Amino acid sequence: MNLKELAAHLNLSQTTVSRALNGFPEVSEATRKRVADAAEQHNYRPNTRAKALATGRAMAIGHVIPVSAQHEMVNPIFGDFIAGAGETYAKAGYDMVLSLVEDDKQEKAYRDMAAKRNVDGIILHAPRMADPRIDLLREIGLPFAVHGRASEVDGPYSWLDVNNKSAFQRATQFLLDLGHRRICLVNGLEYMDFAWRRRAGYLYALENHGIAADPSLMFAEEMTESYGYRTVMQTQALADPPTAYLVSSIIPAMGVRRAVEDSGRRMGREISVITHDDDLSYLRNSGEVPQFTATLSSVQDAGRQLAALLLDQILSVPNHMPTRLLEAQLTVGTSTGPAPAPASSSAPSSA
Amino acid sequence: MNLKELAAHLNLSQTTVSRALNGFPEVSEATRKRVADAAEQHNYRPNTRAKALATGRAMAIGHVIPVSAQHEMVNPIFGDFIAGAGETYAKAGYDMVLSLVEDDKQEKAYRDMAAKRNVDGIILHAPRMADPRIDLLREIGLPFAVHGRASEVDGPYSWLDVNNKSAFQRATQFLLDLGHRRICLVNGLEYMDFAWRRRAGYLYALENHGIAADPSLMFAEEMTESYGYRTVMQTQALADPPTAYLVSSIIPAMGVRRAVEDSGRRMGREISVITHDDDLSYLRNSGEVPQFTATLSSVQDAGRQLAALLLDQILSVPNHMPTRLLEAQLTVGTSTGPAPAPASSSAPSSA
DNA sequence: GAAAGCATCCAAAGCGCTTTGAATGATTGC
DNA sequence: GCAATCATTCAAAGCGCTTTGGATGCTTTC
């Protein structure tokens, strides 16, 4: 059933039917009712493609998700983020179109999306430092919003980010307050902006405490479970092993826990662990007292909010670039405790 | 830049330009070249919406992802599945449109998708036993393919599934061969078809061995980490606790491991664990010898293959309903070992 | 009672593409 | 030399919707 048929069926013009359904004022309540009933009865839905062509609005938002060719990895936090965003879109009547793209084909993917005109806006994922995609999207002229931020990119754009620096600074401070001095950073890839900011927070707290950073305690890799495991195994073999780990995601944190236990130590006793926790639905930091002490910030909620920010930008005045900075919550669990009595813990390794 | 402008620029008709770009034979090689060059130079991409309207093909596949309202959960395996599917789509020039929908709004979501005509086909996720959505999609008439199968649904439809029954039967058999008699099933929700089949495999192996199933050792819940943890804690408190666990996903399996270790036991010694392993990219069952003995089947690969199956169905003759049954690989890791010497292990609890 | 205003409704153009049916020359066959 | 064939190209219709710019008939106003 299409508009023409519906109109014919009602002995009305397409114009009137269209207006009745879209809530224009110049149609009598009687006919509006009649039209609505008939549409309902025949399960009429306007053809999106025709509507999009006529209005110039696609009623869809694009997500370009980078897939690194080497790793073939899909970050599980995307799942939760997208669930949040999808919820917002659904409420606003928007669709979500996903494009999984290898790193080196990103530019083409964005240009294509814009030229093909099948989305009204784009969510930019996983921004890097000085990410060139931001300028690219500006040039293309499609509205966009960034999940995270890109340092060293000037000018306004719409974004939503967790205050990663402050979160990791506080977490480091927390460990320092417990007496830990050898704190290992198990970070994500540091060309990612979020990881870079976390590192900055970590370094800042150390510096404030007069502790020099030890490069042999700073790691940056793709955040897998086995990365967490390997890192602990490796660092516990050091002459002066860390007493605490600061981890970038609950996934490597699980590997960290496994390694701690495999090596006969206990979390919260010999070794303390703090992790960032995206509150992933299938990997909740559970327990009456949470398992991990964590910097908590729901990525699903971030999805909801960023989607709303983008829609806001699309629907409102042109040069409106809303941004939002979320503070992570430092929640105390069972994975942290005072630093063990210094067996041979001399002064920090190097001034 | 649109077709009209490009044609004007070239002093050609829209017809010729369109045909040149779409590889029709009735255009001279000289002009085809000229057109292609100009298109390239002006970065011309046909407007998808117009093209879709004119051709009747949307060049997009829809995924309706159920989100249970109570749990607000997004199964992380979707992430990997979608990565696989997305890869196939990208190669074929298709987009992927995602629709996250609450359980009770599914029917409407499917009908809307069909009526709005913005996808050419649908992937059906997480089928339940006797899933009504299959008949619904048949009625709607949109091509579709199912990730999994639905028992008790007659007639042909396109699907791809892992042989869940055989996988869990073999896994159970493997544990029985090691001498385990109290084997706990940590299953997914059993209205899900895959979970139901796994249970069937488990029961079949037990029965073959003359062992009566013990309802107090059979669990079925949403597959979270904490579910695995709780289940082990609870069952180890039984008078006659299980010596082995058969787990439905690596996520609860991690909770199982945590509980095993928290209760002072060791995986592969006092307690054996086999898990199904979807080969999730961030949660690989890693190690030279894998951590878990597992029934392995890559869900990302499933995504790739099922997407291809659906495209095949869309592009080929009408009543072609391809299906594929994958066998999971039983890979032996460090989490299984012979059953501990029976301390008080009497005969199975009930005949 | 004619002019003006109002409430409803409609015909037709247009969104950017594909595709049908023809036109235009150039080439061939006899 | 003229009809028939072939290789190119084009004008225009159509996909299903929105939207512009009238129509149409009724009330109101003075």
Cβ distance B286 to A225 less than 8 Å, yes or no, reads: yes
- How many angstroms away from the CA of B219 is the closest CA of chain A? 17
Contacts of A223 in chain B (CB under 8 A): 282
A-to-B residue pairs, Cβ atoms closer than 8 angstroms: 177
The answer to whether position B289 is within a domain reads yes
- How many angstroms away from the CA of A155 is the closest CA of chain B? 26
Count of the separate structural domains present in chain B: 3
**Measured between alpha carbons, how far is B187 from B182 in angstroms, rounded to an integer?**
15
Strand C closer than 7 Å to the CB of A115? Answer: no
CB of A82 within 8 A of CB of A96?
yes
Q: Residues 7-36, chain B: which have Cβ within 8 Å of A? A: none
For chain B, the average pLDDT equals 91
Query: A310 and A263: one domain?
Result: no
Query: Dmax of chain B from CA atoms?
Result: 92
What is the mean pLDDT of the segment spanning B214-224? Answer: 96
Strand C near-CB residues (< 7 Å), B 19-38: 19, 21-22
The answer to whether position B233 is within a domain reads yes
Strand C closer than 7 Å to the CB of B51? Answer: yes
**Measured between alpha carbons, how far is B335 from B244 in angstroms, rounded to an integer?**
10
Strand D closer than 7 Å to the CB of B325? Answer: no
B287: pLDDT strictly greater than 50: yes
B343: pLDDT strictly greater than 90: no
Question: What CATH number does residue B206 fall under?
Answer: 3.40.50.2300
Exposure on the CB side of residue B282, measured as CA atoms within 13 A:
28
Distance A31 CA to C4 C1' (A): 27
- Give the pLDDT score at B104: 82
Query: A182 and A286: one domain?
Result: yes
Strand D closer than 7 Å to the CB of B16? Answer: yes
Nearest to B52 among A46, A49, A60 (CB): A49
Cβ distance A97 to B95 less than 8 Å, yes or no, reads: yes
The neighbouring-strand residues paired with B159 are B146, B323
User: Helices marked H in chain A — which ranges?
Assistant: 3-10, 14-21, 29-41, 48-55, 76-92, 106-116, 132-140, 164-177, 193-208, 225-236, 250-262, 299-315
Query: B278 and B234: one domain?
Result: yes
Query: A250 and A172: one domain?
Result: yes
Closest residue to D10 (CA, C1′): B13
Q: What are phi and psi of A224, to 5 degrees?
A: -95, 170
What is the mean pLDDT of the segment spanning B252-280? Answer: 95
B104: DSSP letter: G
A349: pLDDT strictly greater than 80: no
Contacts of B126 in chain A (CB under 8 A): none
Strand C closer than 7 Å to the CB of A13? Answer: yes
What is the mean pLDDT of the segment spanning A252-272? Answer: 94
- Give the pLDDT score at A38: 93
For chain A, the average pLDDT equals 91
Cβ distance B90 to A112 less than 8 Å, yes or no, reads: no
Query: A149 and A173: one domain?
Result: no
For A95, the domain range is 60-162+300-326
The answer to whether position B339 is within a domain reads no
Query: B178 and B241: one domain?
Result: yes
Strand C near-CB residues (< 7 Å), A 133-192: none
What is the mean pLDDT of the segment spanning B320-337? Answer: 95
Query: What is the value of pTM for the model shown?
Result: 0.90
pLDDT digits (tens, 9 = 90+) for A180-220: 999 999 999 999 999 999 999 999 999 999 999 999 999 99
Instruction: Give, as ranges, the nucleotides of chain C with any atom within 7 Å of a protein CB.
Output: 7-21
The answer to whether position A215 is within a domain reads yes
The answer to whether position A115 is within a domain reads yes
Query: Dmax of chain A from CA atoms?
Result: 92
- How many angstroms away from the CA of A312 is the closest CA of chain B? 20
Confidence of residue B350 (pLDDT cuts 50, 70, 90): very low
One-letter identity of residue A163: N
Nearest to A95 among B48, B97, B111 (CB): B97
A340 touching chain B per CB within 8 A? no
Query: B98 and B216: one domain?
Result: no
The answer to whether position B191 is within a domain reads yes
Cβ distance A300 to B72 less than 8 Å, yes or no, reads: yes
pLDDT digits (tens, 9 = 90+) for B93-143: 999 999 888 878 888 888 888 888 889 999 999 999 999 999 999 998 899
B281, B291, B301: which to substitute to probe chain A, counting the most A Cβ within 10 Å?
Answer: B281
Query: B212 and B261: one domain?
Result: yes
Highest mean pLDDT: which of A5-14, A120-129, B9-18, B268-277? B268-277
Cβ distance B83 to A98 less than 8 Å, yes or no, reads: no
Residue B307 neighbours by CB distance under 10 Å:
30
Query: B151 and B230: one domain?
Result: no
CB within 8 Å of A68: residues ≥ 6 apart: A102, A103
B123 touching chain A per CB within 8 A? no
Instruction: Give, as ranges, the nucleotides of chain D with any atom within 7 Å of a protein CB.
Output: 7-21
The answer to whether position B316 is within a domain reads yes
Confidence of residue A89 (pLDDT cuts 50, 70, 90): very high
What is the mean pLDDT of the segment spanning A294-300? Answer: 96
Nearest to A112 among B45, B72, B100 (CB): B45
**Measured between alpha carbons, how far is A76 from A67 in angstroms, rounded to an integer?**
12
Highest mean pLDDT: which of A148-162, A195-209, B2-16? A195-209
- Give the pLDDT score at B345: 46
pLDDT digits (tens, 9 = 90+) for B168-198: 999 999 999 999 999 999 999 999 999 999 9
Query: B280 and B182: one domain?
Result: yes
pLDDT digits (tens, 9 = 90+) for A6-56: 999 999 999 999 999 999 988 999 999 999 999 999 989 999 899 999 999
Report CA A336 to chain centroid distance, whole Å.
Answer: 26
Strand D closer than 7 Å to the CB of A22? Answer: yes
Question: What CATH number does residue A28 fall under?
Answer: 1.10.260
Distance A329 CA to C20 C1' (A): 65
Query: B215 and B199: one domain?
Result: yes
B265: pLDDT strictly greater than 90: yes
**Measured between alpha carbons, how far is A257 from B257 in angstroms, rounded to an integer?**
11
The answer to whether position A337 is within a domain reads no
How big is the CA angle at B152 (ends B148 and B155), to the nearest 5 degrees?
Answer: 80
Query: B79 and B198: one domain?
Result: no
